[in-house]
Structure 1
């Protein structure tokens, strides 16, 4: 008589792959939801921008319901080009982003570290992030950035406080952006490994190592995008992968092809390997 069967170990589900609304710029937020639904993305990250729809919970809920695509995260307006969105107080921007995420059922807010000239904000940044996470139960995932280049000799300028690299900082949650690792000359695989469970979200893009932030389609630059995704899949990464690529110079057909390629790249490298 055969003995009891050994139960099969269930393989972890692959992480969700979401589309950043910035990936369809200069088209608006509504176009991002339509594109995500059409191409089969698992969700959307809303980049809070000058587009009024990105700041209106009611309108965003209607887009979610209409397209059947959830909001997985909100990107706070902490970029240089969004310095006047929701006023100029950086903590107000963060708090309103947290409120928006809570209204939409998104568990993560992505934000950049303070600029060097935001000294008061920077002084209490780590503590302010931790206090808000404890108060809201949401994740504030601080994104890696890069040194700026200045002058004819491309002298590096430290534009962020306490630093553009979040790995040694005391943040509980971090977003790793693979276009930013290219610009900074960082080792993306090493950063992902060092962050361990603190890595909450991956911004999937590529870069050539140029001194500007490129956000290329993954596989078109020098970053180990596939290796990073495979490493995350192997260790059972429970966060989200968000495609954040630049299509601003593409026509509608080229944009859809680039975003479909990015999704296929992510799914291929995140697929669980059969044992």
Structure 2
């Protein structure tokens, strides 16, 4: 199977989820990943279904509201938020829910997180792809572990995982080696880039130091057939034209280095 190249709705911020569907359809992405966040549209299953149908743009994944700034979206009970994410995924035809590992202070949630994720996958039929995170650090010095059971999903027995290149840049991780450790448990990619600073930059792929091009060529070499989702930061774009140019560049980069250009 040829991997889907999708656009995360986070990539259009501060424009809305509706704008992200419009960009994806106009530019020619294969699908959309919905980031459930502070935009009220992203929280409404009926609105997401309508956007998908209007733009004839499938939803391949739902990103659960587990970021710091979405801690109160859909309530504060973490397992309930994941169950609701699976319900949205089912309703809109997505087969993946992206989830971050628990924060260190979420001790009850973290205590049985690995087994709980496996149980959710069995009960819902949805793949919960646990994402790599990073140590928190204020500079280039050694960071503080803020996730339990850990920020690197390759160290746990998850059936499905996500690699995010911006997160790997902060952790100074080799993403190809991480992909090799994960093997066929790697289900989902957040294609982006980073400079290696302590900031979660989400650069356009190819503008950082993460070797996004050889990483994609590695995926092609192992016949990766999951989702490749462009999750970039376009907040500094001065206008819609600049934002769209970054989204176009990102899609071209993904297609070129996955060897898909000639097949589109």
TM-score (norm 1): 0.92
Q: Is 2:217 the partner of 1:256?
A: no
Q: How does 1:106-145 map to 2 (within 5 A)?
A: 106-145=94-133
1:206-252, Cα deviation, whole Å (9 max, x unpaired): 00000111000000000111111111112111100000000011021
Gaps of 5+ in 2: none
1:115-165, Cα deviation, whole Å (9 max, x unpaired): 000000000100110000011111000000000014x78451110001001
Could you list the runs of 4 or more consecutive aligned residues of structure 1 that deviate by over 4 angstroms after TM superposition? 152-155
Cα distance in 1, alignment partners of residues 113 and 230 from structure 2: 27
Cα distance in 2, alignment partners of residues 144 and 159 from structure 1: 12
Aligned to 1:6: none
Q: Is 2:41 the partner of 1:53?
A: yes
Q: How does 1:192-203 map to 2 (within 5 A)?
A: 192-203=179-190
1:155-182, Cα deviation, whole Å (9 max, x unpaired): 5111000100110111000000011111
Local SS of the residue matching 1:95? helix
Gaps of 5+ in 1: 1-12
| Among candidates 63, 68, 79, match of residue 80 of structure 1 | 68
Cα distance in 1, alignment partners of residues 256 and 3 from structure 2: 12
Local SS of the residue matching 1:19? strand
Moved more, 152-161 or 133-142: 152-161
| Among candidates 82, 94, 99, match of residue 94 of structure 1 | 82
Cα distance in 1, alignment partners of residues 39 and 143 from structure 2: 33
Task: Provide the aligned C-alpha RMSD in A.
Answer: 1.4
Local SS of the residue matching 1:142? strand
Distance 1:18 1:272, change over 3 A: closer
- The structure that has the greater radius of gyration is 1
Distance 1:44 1:273, change over 3 A: closer
- Paired residue total: 261
1:77-129, Cα deviation, whole Å (9 max, x unpaired): 00011001011111111111011001111000000000000000000100110
CA contact (8 A) 2:61 2:98 kept: yes
Deviation at 1:14, TM superposition (A): 2.7
